[in-house]
Amino acid sequence: MAIELTNEILRRFSPMDSMKRQNLSALAKKTSIRELESGLTLFQAGDTQKRTVFLVDGIIELTDEDGGKTTVESGTEAGRHALSPHLPRMHTATARGDVQYISIDTDLLDVMLTWDQTGSYEVSELAGSTDGNMDEQDWMTTLLQTRAFQRIPPANIQAIFMRMQQINFRAGDTVINQGEDGDFFYAITRGSCSVVRETPLNKEGIRLAELNVGDTFGEEALISESKRNATVTFLTEGSVMRLAKEDFNTLLNEPMLDWLDYTEAKALVAAGAKWLDVRLPSEFSSFHEPDAINIPLYFIRLKLSALDPDVTYVLCCDTGRRSSAGAFILNERGFDTRVLQGGLNNSDLALM
């Protein structure tokens, strides 16, 4: 029979025993108790998977590379700590009898611990929750576990959440309109929204996406200093947290972008990275880097499945504005990106 993962179970282990209640609850929602039958292997020596494993119930035998064996039993002092936490693993872990364990994404645990120890408020307080409803805090844990947020200094994360403002909407209310100037970055905390883009051939608009709790929008106009390229409307009653343009650029955008000059970019591509050109097809056809992929910025969210998460992409446009916006979107979704400093119109480039 499956056991529900609770705060009390997580508090058995170090360092979760020091975490604030609501932060612990948020972490509990992102993992579960798993079972392993007697004699099966939990992980092998040399394993490099970034998971932190804790023994909930049973006995695990740890065997090092020289054949030395030790056992860890749940409920003991040794059982309070992660099993063979250093990577690559120094031990092979084998179940001695049926066991139950939890396996937490190491980066997520590190970010949550850092936030817990540097923030002045609990997740629930920052989320504006007064009834303890964790569903309304999914947006925060979703942001905290993205690869992008793991690159941001902890002090910035605290400042971001402290400076965000909550805005409530009714079904049918518009958050941003296509053609407006960009002034805020948004994260959905409750409800769902539609993203629609009007085109010269379709005044009703083309529905590009549906956004839900934890999804973000509005960054393209802030980074590229351009007009909003779509209209976002609530499909249900809901709420957003918004961050002003100046705070977004200082606290969130700048730490997430890695810039390269043209020489560095060409060397990275020669080593296996790929050019990703986010200009319009007409611009791309005029000139582009050899073997570059062309995905216009306003299509990039729709074309994520066409990109390889194991490839490093060097994003480029004419000036660097659109490519930095594209890199932000990809970084939020776990891609490894670089941005061409100055863009393709830089006079120092010697395009072929």
CATH of domain 257-340: 3.40.250.10
Scanning the chain, the segments in alpha helix (DSSP H) are 7-10, 21-28, 106-118, 123-126, 138-144, 154-163, 219-224, 245-247, 254-256, 262-270, 281-286, 321-332
pTM over 0.85: no
CATH of domain 7-105: 2.60.120.10
Task: Kindly compute the dihedral angle of the four CA atoms of residues 303, 280, 180, 252, in this order, to the nearest 10 degrees.
Answer: 60
What value does the mean pLDDT take over residues 221-237? Answer: 89
Can you tell me which residue has the tokens 């072929």? Answer: 352
Q: Report d(CA 56, CA 280) in Å as an integer.
A: 54
- Which CATH code, of 3.30.460.80, 3.40.640.10, 2.60.120.10, 3.20.20.370, is assigned to 119-253? 2.60.120.10
Domains 7-105 and 119-253 belong to one CATH topology: yes
Q: Decide: 51 and 103 in contact? Cβ < 8 Å.
A: yes
- For 79-130, the pLDDT digits (tens) are 999 999 988 999 999 999 999 999 998 877 877 776 666 544 444 444 444 3
More confident residue, 153 or 318: 318
Nearest in space to 242 (alpha carbons), one of 199, 204, 189, 301: 189
Q: Report d(CA 346, CA 183) in Å as an integer.
A: 28
- For 39-74, the pLDDT digits (tens) are 999 999 999 998 999 999 999 999 999 999 999 999
Q: Report d(CA 104, CA 22) in Å as an integer.
A: 17
- For 303-338, the pLDDT digits (tens) are 889 999 999 999 999 888 888 888 888 987 889 999
Spans of all domains in the chain: 7-105, 119-253, 257-340
**Tokens standing for 329?**
């979107």
Q: Which amino acid is at 257?
A: L
